[in-house]
Chains A and B, each alone.
Chain A
Amino acid sequence: MPVFVLTHHAREPLEMKGGTTFNFVTDGIEAALARAKEAAGDADVSLAGGAKVVQQYLAAGLLDELDLSVVPVLLGDGERLFENLGAEPPELTLVDVVDGPGVTHLRYRAAN
């Protein structure tokens, strides 16, 4: 599966034995998404993170869906997923709740 890695340092694609190819993209989130969409064809593009990357795509209105797993623990400190979202974060609609053992999976659709 092709993977597009956002970075400031250009380098050649890295092909792994398992079939994954890491492509390094230096010209921003929109360019990376365009390349990933082209590679995905009719399939969807998964945004793996981390938090800062998700925030950039959310703020730019480029994210269509959020799949979250709520784990019953209060960490107290750490990296927040939802921060730096700009003046107009997307509107969300809850489309699915799946009650797993201990974990709750939530799916939201974003209207950009």
Chain B
Amino acid sequence: MSTIAHHTISLDGFIAGPDDSIDWAFAFGEPTSLAEETMRRIGAIVAGRRWYELAKERWDGVDGIYGGEWDGQVFVLTHRSAEDDDSRISFVSGGIKQAVGAAQESAGDKDVGIFGGSLTRQCLDAGLLDEIVLHLAPVLLGSGVRLFGGEGAEQVELDRIAVGEADQLTDFRFRVRR
């Protein structure tokens, strides 16, 4: 059972553009076989509060995940208490380790998906990330939400275990060396 950060990323390193836009990500081809395979592997998702607010407002909540193809529990890491009528949403306030642990339990034999730049970095820092799956889009966004780097980020070695080309997207699957 692995934890996987799964994102479409611009060539200049953003997973969301200015104003949190993600429309650009769909302009370069259909979801690839690696995207579908990764979706099928994921049994539960850990996301951040920012993702949650945006998903409720713009992306149809849990029903919008992977275009409605995905089914499972979403664990939202947040410091502020919250409630949601959707039973597929759980709020976790005890930190990244607890959130990943709860998601692993829910995922059973399947893997855990990590959504968002901040959560991906927190997982990397805590040694909780096993894989990074990226769909690299040929676009320069200039600004937005970065997946990697930031204050005090450590060097992390990866092994590229798969690469593929699908239309204008380049698929990468990396394993995190620990």
- Find out whether the CB atom of A74 lies under 8 angstroms from the CB atom of B155: yes
- Find out whether the CB atom of B140 lies under 8 angstroms from the CB atom of A82: yes
- Size of interface on A: residues with Cβ below 8 Å to B: 28
- Find out whether the CB atom of B156 lies under 8 angstroms from the CB atom of A102: no
- Size of interface on B: residues with Cβ below 8 Å to A: 27
Contacts of A72 in B (CB 8 A): 157-160, 174
Contacts of B136 in A (CB 8 A): 70, 106
Contacts from A to B (Cβ < 8 Å): 58, 68, 70, 72-77, 80-83, 85-87, 89-94, 97, 99, 102, 104, 106, 108
Contacts from B to A (Cβ < 8 Å): 11-13, 124, 136, 138-140, 142, 148-149, 152-160, 163, 165, 168-170, 172, 174
Given contacts A74-B148, A99-B163, 14 further A-B contacts (CB under 8 A): A68-B11, A72-B157, A72-B174, A74-B124, A76-B148, A80-B12, A85-B12, A85-B140, A86-B142, A92-B138, A92-B139, A92-B140, A93-B168, A97-B170
9 A-B pairs with the lowest CB-CB distances in the bound complex, closest first:
A76-B153, A82-B12, A89-B140, A72-B158, A92-B138, A74-B156, A72-B160, A97-B165, A94-B138
